[in-house]
A and B are shown apart, each in its own frame.
Chain A
Amino acid sequence: MPRVFRWSVLLLFLAITLIPFLWLINASFKSSAELFANPFGLTSSFSLENYFSSFAVHPLHIYFRNSVIVAVLSTLLALTASVLAAYALLHRFRLSRPAFVFLIFGLFLPVNAFIVPIFFIIHSIGLYNTWWGLILVYAGISLPLSFLIIKTYMDTIPRELLEAAHMDGASYHRTFFSVILPMTMPGIVTGAIFLMITAWNELLFASLLTQDETARTVQVGIRFFLTTYSANYPQAFAATVMTIVPTILMYVFLSNRVIAGMTAGALK
């Protein structure tokens, strides 16, 4: 491939990826009038007015709180279940192969086909419009992938360690807590990054299972900036920028780990 062609492809994709985001950030500082008069010019002032006023229109800070709680706790729950199960499968037993298949078969199912039963499960145990409803659902639907990530990592731990721990008389639990768990930590961090980002970004179940500020997450919240009567676009942009800042920060500081985390399930 000639050089010119290669570089035009790279620069084209660079432009397509970045220009919309730069436009969004620039527009989030404008006033509504300025936006319509001059949608592409550099903003005349970098005032944070829209950022502050967007909190007054919709309770964004509450949506943020809900999103953080749901993302953190669902990640913890999914990881705990995955690590425990992966440790159990580190030992051989008669049904270990079927057990493995049982835990990952959900990978191949499009979960959006399950919205009716999942809605009724959550509703019938009284968790509709609560944090715990979303936490359970996120932990449940992301379990196959998080289990696969952890299991793949745990399988790289040398088996001799398990034997050695056993020789030294460590019990089943002791081996888990003192040997396997510490050694799986890098895998757990990878899984945690992946789970947090997916939970933070989820929309379908968040809009299905929440009703008001009690549990509504930011992804559902920013939609209201557009759908309400007399929408103020720059304000909506400011709100959108704020909702993507947490994942952007994570990416800026940990880009290699994030890339590894998001593709970990696919690469094994």
Chain B
Amino acid sequence: MKQKIPAQSESTAPRAMLATVARSEAAHVGYYVRGFPSNVLRSLLALGRGLVASRNLILYLAPAALLTLVFFVFPLVFILYMSLQEWAGLGPSTFIGMKNYEFLWQDDVFHTALANTLSWVFVGIFIHTPLCVLVALILARQPFMWKFFRTVFFFPNVISTTAIAFLWYFVFHVDLGLINNVLKAVGLSGWTRPWLSDPQTALPSIETPFIIYIGFGMVLFLTAISTIPREYYEAAKLDGASDWQQDWHITLPLIRRTIALQCLFVVGYCLKMFEYPFIMTSGGPANTTMNLSLYIYRKMLAANVYGLSMAAGVVTLLVGLVLLAVVFIVLRRFEKE
């Protein structure tokens, strides 16, 4: 049993009394009408006294609450409201209803941005995450130097995405790039191409560094696997199950929640993904690598259409909510089985 301690025991008794009084008062809504205004004043006084009693609480919560209000609550309300306005940043805004959303609905660049963001999520969940699981399964058996591999695989996560995007820009570089030069060296010169400026290969190319940086998910899975009781595997071994069968029938079902968690991270990561398109291709060629993040940024900085930028932000939030719900629904399906 978890025991909880009241905020301030010295003042518990009067506060509890106040709470009881307030509750019984609230039970009779009519009271507020009949005895107006003295009763309201009395309630306000009671509230005030309650606040004074919990001033420590307020004092300690204030900085965090203030930051949350300023950087999450206010922006959320602001973009919901201002996405219905036409606003150039200076001067008053004009209410235009759903016009911004209608524009997005018809804008080809926005369609590409949305489709590309979903493509990031897709490869994140169906290619990146399975790779994380695969490597975690291998390292969980603690092969020779497994700690070294774990450390190296996690390493890109501490490097800025800017630097990694910059680095992979050169991996795909036409003349200097590792890829084209390796292709030439093995006699496949026909396959070389300007990867990042060819509309066909630009998107897969900028998604590559994300797909193969597996460290974060790998650590999540390794931690989850380490909590599985060893007896399960020993019992399976006695029954003659191979390593592969053990992984498939014991490990995978038991880390399904961590897989769901990883999918949530992938969704969050992909919705915020900005550096790879921004640095490797600037959204080009011909907007083929545009994504939601970059679209919001462009509409704000380059085009000064703030209402539109915020409408795109609202769509991003909605996409996030839908994907969140999908992950939870799929997880629940698996839990039931």
**A36 B79 Cβ-Cβ under 8 A:** no
Question: Using Cβ atoms and an 8 Å threshold, which residues of chain B touch A103?
Answer: 64-65, 68
List chain A residues, Cβ under 8 A from B220: 263, 266-267
- Assess whether B296 is in contact with A112, with CB atoms less than 8 Å apart: yes
Q: Answer whether residue B187 sits at the interface, using C-beta atoms and an 8 A cutoff.
A: no
How far is B79's CA from A107's CA once the two chains are assembled, in angstroms?
18
A40 in complex: contacting residue of B78, B181, B293, CB < 8 Å = B181
Contacts A23-B178, A84-B63, A91-B57; A117 near B5 (Cβ below 8 A): no
Chain A residues numbered 57-113 whose CB sits less than 8 Å from any CB in chain B:
78, 80-82, 84-85, 87-89, 91-94, 99, 102-103, 105-106, 108-113
Q: Residue of B at shortest CB range from A247?
A: B158
> Number of B residues contacting the other chain (C-beta, 8 Å)?
95
**A43-51, A184-192, A200-208: which lies at the interface:** A200-208
Question: What is the CB-to-nearest-CB distance from B131 to chain A, in angstroms, rounded to a whole number?
Answer: 8
**What is the CA–CA distance of A16 and B158 in the complex, to the nearest angstrom?**
16
For B243, what are the chain A residues with a Cβ–Cβ distance below 8 Å?
1
Complex Cα distance, B264 from A110, in Å, reads 12
Of A9, A226, A247, which contacts B134 at CB under 8 A? A9
Question: Is A36 in contact with B175, judged by CB distance below 8 angstroms?
Answer: yes
The interface residues of chain A, by DSSP majority, are classed as helix
Asked if A143 contacts B71 (CB within 8 A), the reply is: yes
* Interface residue count on the A side (C-beta < 8 Å): 93
A14 within 8 A of B: yes
Return A247 CB to nearest CB of chain B, in Å: 5
Q: How many A-B residue pairs have CB under 8 A?
A: 266
| Known contacts A116-B309, A219-B160; is-contact A81 B216 (Cβ 8 Å) | no
Residue contact A109 to B72, C-beta cutoff 8 Å: yes
Interface contact B72-A244, CB-CB below 8 Å: no
Query: Which residues does chain A contribute within 8 Å of B306, judged by CB atoms?
Result: 116
Contact A116 B162 (CB under 8 A): no
B314 within 8 A of A: yes
The digit string for B139-160, where 1 denotes a CB below 8 A from any CB of A, is: 1000100000111111111111
Does B13 reach chain A (CB closer than 8 Å)? no
Residue of B163, B167, B293, B316 most packed against chain A (CB within 10 A) = B163
A165 to B94, CA, bound (A): 58
B324 contacts A by Cβ under 8 Å: yes
Chain A to chain B: the 3 pairs with minimum beta-carbon distance, closest first: A140-B71, A113-B313, A201-B160
Q: List 8 A-B contacts (CB under 8 A).
A: A85-B60, A91-B6, A110-B272, A113-B314, A143-B64, A147-B64, A204-B297, A240-B166
